[in-house]
Amino acid sequence: MSASNTLLTPKDMAERLGIPERSVRQKVYGAVWPHRRLDLRTIRFTEDDFRTILTMSYEQPHDRAAALPEVQRAPSEKAVI
C-alpha cells in the first residue's frame, strides 16, 4: 500500500494532531470529522481525511475587540475612565 493509500487509526491521528485519542473518537462519534468505518468498531482515516480535518480546524485570526459585544448604557449613566 502506498503512503497516499495508508489508513490511519484513531491513535495515529491523535499522535499527528497532538491531542488525546479520546478527543479523536469524540469527533468521530459526533460526526464532526470525516472517517471510514470498516465495521461497527473499526475506524480509519485516509490522508485526505487528515488534510480535511486540518482545514476544518484552521481558524482565521480575528480582532478580539470586534468580537466582544458592545456595552449599552442607560442615557443617564456616564462612562468612568
pLDDT in tens, 37-80: 999 999 999 999 999 999 987 766 665 555 556 655 566 656 56
What is the model's pLDDT at position 28? 96
- Distances in Å between the alpha carbon of 42 and those of 5, 22, 32, 59? 17, 15, 17, 30
In a domain, 63, yes or no: no
CATH number of the domain bearing residue 27: 1.10.1660
Three cell numbers, residue 63: 480582532
Domain count, the chain: 1
Residue 14 domain flag? yes
Does residue 67 lie in a domain region? no
pLDDT at residue 5 above 90?
no
Please tell me whether the overall predicted TM-score, pTM, comes out greater than 0.75 for this model.
no
Domain span at residue 24? Answer: 3-58
